[in-house]
Amino acid sequence: MPATPEFIRSNPKLAFFALLAVAASGFGQTFFIAIFGAAIREEFQLSNSWYGASYSAATLLSAFVLLGAGTLVDRWPLRRVALLGALLLSAGCITLALANSAWMLLPGFFLLRFAGQGFMTHMGMTTAGRYFTSNRGKVIALAALGFPIAEALLPTTGSLMIQGTGWRSVWLASAALLVMLVLPALVWLAGNAGEKSEVSAVAAAETNGDYTRAQVLRDRGFYCLLPAALMTPFVVTAVLFHQGAIADARGWSLQTMAGAFGGYAAGHLLALFFAGPLVDRIGAQRSLPLALAPMISALLLLAFCEQAWVPYVYLALIGITQAGTGTAGSALWPERYGSSHLGAIRSISQASMVFSTAASPLLIGFLLDHGWDVMTLALLLAGIVFAACLLTSGAGKTNMQQRQQATA
C-alpha cells in the first residue's frame, strides 16, 4: 500500500473530499453542459440567442443565490453540506433529463450552475483552505486537480453516450452516479468535520482575530486583490467562448485549435504540481500576480503573431495561469482573513467569479460585432490583466503577517 503523501497526512480524508467535490462540480461546468447544446436546441427548436440567454440568466441567478448559501459551509457540518450539494446537482440532472418544454431548461440550468460550478466548487475549495495550514497551497492544488480530471472524463464520455443512447440518458446516468457513488463517498470522507456550534465558531473567531464577511467588505485590500483573482476566469471564458471567431480571424483550422486545447489541458495539469509548493513557500498574495504573468505573455503573443504554432503556445500559457491563479486565489482568503468565516468570505469571490464569466463573453462579443480586431482585443485584455497585477501592490500585509507583528 503506497504511503500517504506527507502534505495531506494530517487529514487525508478531507483532502480527497475536496478533490472529489471539485471533480463532481464538472457536471455543472460549461465544458460538460456545452456538449448537449446542439441536441437540446434541435429538440426544442431554439435559436442560439434564446439558448444562450437562458443559460446566462441561470448562471447570474446562481451567483446571487450563492452569496447567501455559501455561508452554510461555515454553519453546517460538512456531511450535511455535501448532502445538499450532491442532491441539488443530481436534481438539476434529472430536471434536464425530464424536460418537456424549453422553459424547463431554466430551472435545470440554474440547479446545475448553482450546485455544480458554484456550490460544489465552493465547498471543495473551502474545505482545502480551512482544514490545512502549513501545506494549504499543496492541498488546494490537489483539490484543483478535480477540474482537469473532470475535463478529461466527462465531455468525452458524455459525447459517446449521446451518440449511442441520446442526450437525456446521459443526464439520468449522471444523476445516478452522483446519488449512488459521489454522495456516499463525500459523506464518508467528510467524517465529523464541522460538528460544532455556531457560537463556538464565533468565539474562536473573536480570539484568533479572523475576519467576518462584513469586516472583509470594509477592507480596502480586498478590493485590490479581488480583480487579480477574477482575471483568469474572466479572460479564459472570453477567449474560449469566442475561440471560433479568433481562429477565423487568424486563419487557424479547427484541427489546429483541437490540438491546441490539448496544450491548454497539459499546461493546466502540469502547473498544478508547481503552484502549490510556490504558494506555500512565498504566500498566496505574492504568488497571485506572478501567476498572471504567463497569461499576459499569452495575450501579447496572440496580439502580434499569427503563425500556426501560436494557438499551442498561448493556450498552454493560459493553462499554466489557470493552475497558478486557481491555487493562489483559493489560498489567498484564508491566508489573509483566517478560516473561521471562510465559507462566507469565499462566497463573495465565487459569486464574483460567476458574474465575471457571464459578463466577459457578452463584452467581447459586443466589441467583435463593432469591428474590433483580435490584436486590439488581446492588447485590451493584456492591459486589464496587467492593471490587476499592479493593483495587488495596494493590498498591504496579510492578516497573518499583521497578527505575527502584533504578537512580536
Q: Are residues 155 and 291 in the same domain?
A: no
Which is nearest to 398 in space by CA: 317, 351, 305, 335?
335
pLDDT tens-digit series, residues 230-263: 999 899 888 877 877 888 889 988 678 778 878 8
Within a domain: residue 88?
yes
In a domain, 202, yes or no: no
Segment 65-88 mean pLDDT? 94
Assess whether pLDDT exceeds 80 at residue 399: no
User: Does some domain include residue 201?
Assistant: no
Domain co-membership, 125 together with 176 = yes
Overall domain count for the chain: 2
Residues 89 and 224 in one domain: no
Give me 70's grid cell. Answer: 455559501
Query: How do residues 126-184 score in pLDDT, each as one tens digit?
Result: 999 998 887 889 999 999 999 989 988 898 899 889 988 999 999 999 999 999 999 99
Tens digits of residue pLDDT in 362-387 = 888 888 888 899 999 999 999 999 99
Domain boundary among 195, 222, 251: 195
Give CA–CA dist 85/89, Å, rounded: 6
Q: Which of 195, 218, 248 is the last residue of a domain?
A: 195
pTM: 0.84
Same domain, 188 and 242: no
Query: What CATH number does residue 215 fall under?
Result: 1.20.1250.20
How does residue 200 score in pLDDT terms, banded at 50, 70 and 90? Answer: very low
Chain segment 33-60, per-residue pLDDT in tens? 888 888 888 899 988 778 877 888 888 8
Residue 239: domain span: 207-408
C-alpha grid cell, residue 365: 462579443
C-alpha–C-alpha distance, residues 201 and 72, integer Å:
13
